[in-house]
Amino acid sequence: MKVGISAMEYYLPEKVIDNDFFEHSKNEFLEEKVGIKERRIAAKDEATSDMCVTVINNLLNKNKIDRNEIEFMILCTLSPDYPIPQTSSQVQHYCELPKSLYAVDVRLGCSGFVYSLSMAEALIRGFGFKKGLVVTADKFSMYLSYRDYTVDTLFSDNASAVLVEENPKLLEITAHDFGTDGSGTEQICVKTGGSRYPRKDASSPFQLVKPGIERSDDYLYMNGRQVMKFANATVAPSAERVMQRAGITLDDVDWVIMHQANKLMLEDIAKRMQLPPEKNYINLWNKGNTTASSVAIATKEVLDRGERLNHGRYWIITGFGVGYSWGTTALKYVG
């Protein structure tokens, strides 16, 4: 049985914020090293489920897919509409998907698309489903404080939707590699709001770290150096294991699409892989870090550009980050 991707769409909110918005930003560093010029921010009244509904309807309508044929939906987000219930149930209702739908939320970050894709494959192979959706969406702006320049310039709000089915029309899933290292839990973290540190009536106070960096436990913290160290140690070996499992080498690979964290990190990982620069797709410039959607968005862009779409050749996709967690998949282009 062949399982894979037959259609893809993504959504970015209308509001664009460029580097000039940030009083403390160093534009030269952001653009040359991080690789980001612009990012997208959702409207105040635009929830994660709203972005999901938009991208799913776009996917179904553009590709003339009968929504009554959708049997499952895996929705990956770290910014659900409510702590309870799951966002996938709301999206099922708003999109008028069948009530027989197998719908589940996945709480993963930047590795989330690769993990969710493998879950979709397993549902088709193991449960006999024929057709379903992998949806990723995050309103990460809700976690950002504009008092901390180490994170506030990096992220975009976003959503993506992917049709996964038997006998795929675009990309066949051929091999996987996954890993988890929970020792990195607090290296990318919003500390309050869960059962360990419940959010109290008063917000967690901001504390001055140094000029331009004030932090509160209510907002996203990221230890960039440790995340870079983690990614450099895990991503290249994971890609090598996937290629071994797929029975291929880099010579058989047309594209490597990594989680779009920052330009410098992606270039460093590519060097460790001995990957030619032209095979390393980077789209950070006008999007920033789109969290769980970044791999899906970049994959869709490569398909739309039409460069090196060679039947029977391979693509490597890899996500890594929050958790720590990482996941890598080998795809064969069958379009």
Is residue 298 pLDDT above 90, yes or no? yes
- Give the C-alpha separation, 244 to 248, whole Å: 6
What pLDDT score was predicted for residue 25?
Answer: 60
Using CA atoms, how far residue 172 sits from 35, 139, 164, 315, in Å, is 30, 30, 10, 10
pLDDT-above-90 percentage for the chain: 90
The answer to whether the CB of 13 falls within 8 A of the CB of 52 is no
**pLDDT higher than threshold 70 for residue 24:** no
Mean pLDDT, residues 19-46 taken together:
88
The yes or no reply on domain 3-168 and CATH 3.40.47.10 is yes
pLDDT per residue over 185-201, tens digit each?
A: 999 999 999 999 998 77
pLDDT at 135 over 80: yes
Percent of the chain scoring above 70 in pLDDT: 99
Alpha-carbon torsion, ordered 304, 79, 207, 147, to 10 deg: 40
Q: What is the CA radius of gyration of the chain?
A: 19
Degrees (nearest 5) of the Cα angle 247, 252, 254? 135
150-169: average pLDDT: 96
Q: What is the pLDDT of residue 201?
A: 73
Average pLDDT in the 268-287 region? Answer: 96
- Residue-wise pLDDT for 89-134, tens only, equals 999 999 999 999 999 999 999 999 999 999 999 999 999 999 999 9
Q: State residue 200's pLDDT score.
A: 77
Are 328 and 240 spatial neighbours (Cβ–Cβ below 8 Å)?
A: no
The two structure tokens encoding residue 30: 């952001």
CATH class of 174-185+219-333: alpha beta
Let me know: does 173 contact 167? Beta carbons within 8 Å.
no
The mean pLDDT of 218-239, rounded to a whole number, is 96
Across 287-296, average pLDDT? 97
Work out the pLDDT band at 331, boundaries 50, 70, 90: very high
User: 254 pLDDT exceeds 90?
Assistant: yes
Residue 27 is predicted with a pLDDT of 72
Could you give the residue numbers annotated as active site? Answer: 110, 259, 289
Delimit the domains of the chain by residue range: 3-168, 174-185+219-333
Average pLDDT score over residue span 230-253:
97
Q: CATH topology of 3-168 equal to that of 174-185+219-333? A: yes
Q: What is the mean pLDDT of the chain?
A: 95
- Using alpha carbons only, give the angle 95, 96, 100 rounded to the nearest 5 degrees: 120
Position 96 scores a pLDDT of 98
Q: Measuring CA to CA, which residue among 96, 95, 104, 50 is closest to residue 72?
A: 104
Residue 266 has pLDDT above 90, yes or no: yes
CB atoms under 10 Å from CB of 282, counted, come to 16
Indicate the pTM of the whole model.
0.96
